[in-house]
Amino acid sequence: MSGPSAAQRRLFHRWRQDPGEATGNVSLVLRLSGPLDRDRVEGAVLALLDRHEILRGRFPITDGHPGVDLRPMGSLEVESPACAAEAYVGAGFDLTEAAVRVALFETGPAEHLLVLVAHPIVADHASMDVLCSEFSAAYNGSMSTTAATADGGPSSARRRAYWDEVLDGADPALDLPTDHPRPAFSSRRRAAAEHRLPAEPAREVAEVSEVDTATVLLAAFGIVLRRYTGKSDLVVGTTVDVRERADRVGTGPGPVPVRLPVDGGRQVTELLRHTHAVRAAARWHAPADTIGGVPHQVGFAYRRPEQPSAPPGLTVQRLELGTPAGPGDGGLDLVLSVVDLPEGLRVHCDYDAEIVDRERIVRLFGHLERVLEAMAAAPGSTIGALPMLTEAEQERAARTWNATAVDFPAEATLPRLVAERVAAAPDAPALRTAHDEVTYAVLDRWADRLAARLLAAGVRRGGVVAVATERTPELAVALLAVLRAGAAYLPLDPTHPDERLRLMMDDAGATVVLATPGAAGRLPTDGPVLVPVDDDGPDPTGLEPPATDAADLCYVIYTSGSTGRPKGVLLDHRGRVNNFTDFNRRFLVGAGDAVLSVSSLGFDMTAYDVFGPLVSGACLVLPDPALERDPAHWLDLMTTHRVTVWHSVPALLDMLLFAATELGVSALPDLRLVLLGGDWIPVDLAERLRALSPDAEVISLGGATEVSMDSTIYPIGEVDPRWASVPYGRPMANQRAYVLDVDGHLAPVGVPGDLYLGGLGLAWGYAGDAAQTAARFGPDPHATIPGGRRYATGDLARYGPDGTLELLGRADLQVKIGGARIELGEVEVALRELPEVAAAVAAAHRGSGTPVLVAYLVPEPGADLDSVGVRRRLATRLPAYMVPAVIVPLERIPLTPNGKVDRKRLPPPS
């Protein structure tokens, strides 16, 4: 024999890494029923081994490299082992001695199993079909003795040209969703799962479309992969039988890449025709070893085992033992193998157990079955229209996990609820500062006076009043007065550029401004500017406050827009009343509680900071305007006024805890509730807080300004060290959350998708921007109320097994560097876990050339940031392509006024 082929050398080196590994073994198992002549059986086996000499091959090692020679016929025998047939099939080989073994098992009176096992270095499944078809003739002594010969095919140059053309522009990275992070170094730990599928749907589609069953199954698998990854151009490694002669036994050509175009608008019939054609072309141009490695992460294999003919006097039945071998070298994320048997489809999935759990594979089986059923039911459908979830999954995601209906005062407005608290406890403290206290009765009187002045200035129901006050009692007075006048408030930060402030006021239609003296002079307005509290002026007279209802506009808040123009979000009373009622009921916020307000006026968290306490009878604590960003001042207020509720973005709580450490504050015993939202929550933040307030309940909140202030909730109990981030939670009262896949269907558990929010609380839309409103807000097909809508948040998320949402980042924070997709949030988590790093932000910087991954790091006090050391430690946690190429030390991470990371102010790396 000539030396080993490239494929054989590859398989030999894999065997040397793990000599006991046997998952690639192929076998022929025949049940022989009837009077058996053992000598004739052994003669038939020897005849097969003589005709197909590769089966006698062995691979001795010479100078560290495998050679190949043939075992002499006299050394071959049919064994009678004591082990079970399954164990015999599943045992490994010593390839230096043999690559084939044969045994005859006596299983009962006149019942035997003939088992031939081969290592893939000498045979594949198609080879077993050849041996199966030849066994009867060999048993009868009528088999041809002519040795089977190799066949031809395109030249190596033509094959290389073909594969270069096929794979031009292809992205082999599939980005399959996983259950665990990919380790920097794989231990090659594999696992497997099996499922039985009915064959009728696939065979029906094959018949109607005039393709083979393998084509249908590969196309259906491609559709499932599209829904899992969001990709429309897939590369899947698949097995093919390239031998033109039906009687040739030998090593298979290895997997070949098949490129599948699975864009959602493509017809299923078109996909089937294309898949059939590319499989045929791949079969002719195999092997693909000329491309220097098959570029795929998943594999697919299909076979329909040849059924044996029976010699006279015997009944012969072919059995399937062991696991179906699929394409690849064991390093793939998963390999789906299908054996087409008369009783149905045996589906086997071999997968990387380091990153994928068995439950995910079980769900994959259900999705494959559902897609095949849908293809059979509507073969003329488009790919994007096919359902994939099972009925049970659809019911859970659409209804069970959104069963949030709760009674609340649906017709109330915020001023009405505040009035109820005034009537119930007029002398209770409503507002406190470092030096003052305002009771509910005084707040009520001041707000009534200001509302009358607003009406006298021409404010009417449905109008908009701009509010620009410092963080003083005038803030609460102004907001309450605007709402009592039947208008909506527009919060403004007077430190913003004039052009931006003017744009917001014009866009929202604000003609009157409420401002404290320190802010009024910085506002670009020609309209009336009123001082919120004016006890020295005459009593206002004029119109009575108009009747308002829950559907009226409550406030307009501007958020940044991708176009650079801010977007005004229009929100009514009903959604706010629902949201604030949910918080106060759920956490028993009421009289005796004190809520510290630290969020910017222009951030929607301030809406709850002000009205959450006032509608519940609690007290709002306001920092001094000159010290409102000073965490030491916050600590003083929390101690003095016995603050029980903290509500902020995580970065502000982090500032508080840092100050507590620096100032030697060892306890905040009154703090019982911490509400965190608006940004990523560091996994260790809750534990750090509990060092000061052991009994505090820490809550993760999620949402969007365009919906309610908060729409999802998750109580942070014991922190799982495996978390990449704190869970996003489940929908709050009367709200809904959906994760949609690339085709707009509900996504399965564990698969990333676009997060949509619905239910009560959705904004009317964007002020003066019908196009953006139509783009982001749309009908909710799963709503339980007429006219229900949902909002596209732009966030990426996925469901956990119990419906808990995990936030994966913004869609626009996913970057691609060197052909690999990178979620910046994952890099940031790894950076923050380094002991010398206090804060971290990852970003992609393009500069004048190709983009590079940059890490912006704030060191821990006294720590030395060694760029080489940081990258070396990251390399033990992340794949090389996710390790930042540049480390930029910072004194602090730049934040927006709302406490979020301001990426626009990150300095370019030098």
pLDDT tens for residues 622-636? 999 999 999 999 999
Q: Phi and psi dihedrals of 87, rounded to 5?
A: -65, -35
Phi-psi group of 731: left, alpha or beta (phi > 0 → left; psi -120 to 50 → alpha; rest → beta) = beta
Say if residue 615's pLDDT is above 60: yes
DSSP E strands in 718-876: the ranges are 730-731, 735-740, 753-759, 765-766, 777-779, 789-799, 805-810, 814-817, 820-823, 837-845, 852-859
Is 811 exposed, middle or buried (CB count within 10 Å of its CB: 0-12, 13-18, 19+)? middle
- pLDDT number for residue 878: 78
- pLDDT number for residue 70: 84
Sign for the CA dihedral angle at 250, 254, 256, 262 comes to positive
The answer to which of 118-127, 498-507, 774-783, 880-889 has the lowest mean pLDDT is 498-507
CB atoms within 10 A of CB 376: 17
Pick the more confident residue, 590 or 681: 590
- Is 699 in a helix, a strand, or coil? strand
Say if residue 542's pLDDT is above 50: yes
Element (H, E) at 70: strand 69-70
- % of the chain residues with pLDDT over 70: 91
Tokens of 629: 């960003």
pLDDT tens, 343-375? 899 999 999 999 999 999 999 999 999 999 999
Can you tell me which residue has the tokens 């690639």? Answer: 24
Task: Say how far apart CA 31 and CA 105 lie, in whole Å.
Answer: 9
CB atoms within 10 A of CB 312: 8
Task: Say how far apart CA 135 and CA 32 lie, in whole Å.
Answer: 12
Assess contact for 828 and 857: CB atoms under 8 A: no
Cis ω before 287 (30° cut-off from 0): yes
The pTM of this model reads 0.84
CB atoms within 10 A of CB 384: 19
Tokens of 495: 């430190």
Say if residue 895's pLDDT is above 80: yes
pLDDT tens, 423-458? 999 999 999 999 999 999 999 999 999 999 999 999
- pLDDT number for residue 540: 63
Phi-psi group of 151: left, alpha or beta (phi > 0 → left; psi -120 to 50 → alpha; rest → beta) = beta
Is 191 exposed, middle or buried (CB count within 10 Å of its CB: 0-12, 13-18, 19+)? middle
Task: Say how far apart CA 647 and CA 113 lie, in whole Å.
Answer: 72
The answer to which of 476-490, 804-818, 845-859 has the lowest mean pLDDT is 804-818
- pLDDT number for residue 151: 52
Say if residue 819's pLDDT is above 50: no
Average pLDDT estimate for 325-332: 62
Task: Say how far apart CA 570 and CA 576 lie, in whole Å.
Answer: 12
DSSP-derived secondary structure letter, 75: G
First to last CA, the chain: 61
Tell me the pLDDT band of 133, cut-offs 50, 70 and 90. confident
Tell me the pLDDT band of 859, cut-offs 50, 70 and 90. very high
CB atoms within 10 A of CB 247: 17
Task: Say how far apart CA 692 and CA 671 lie, in whole Å.
Answer: 9
Task: Say how far apart CA 655 and CA 676 lie, in whole Å.
Answer: 13
DSSP letters for 814-860: EEEETTEEEEHHHHHHHHHTSTTEEEEEEEEE-TTSS-EEEEEEEEP
> 431, 414, 421: which is closest to 469 by C-alpha?
431
Q: Phi and psi dihedrals of 82, rounded to 5?
A: -85, -15
Instruction: Please state whether beta strands 510-515 and 529-530 pair in parallel, antiparallel, or not at all (unpaired).
Output: parallel
Length of the chain: 910
Tell me the pLDDT band of 251, cut-offs 50, 70 and 90. confident
> 113, 5, 1, 97: which is closest to 52 by C-alpha?
1
Q: Which domains occur in the chain, in start order?
A: 6-140 (3.30.559.10), 170-176+191-307+324-388 (3.30.559.30), 818-905 (3.30.300.30)
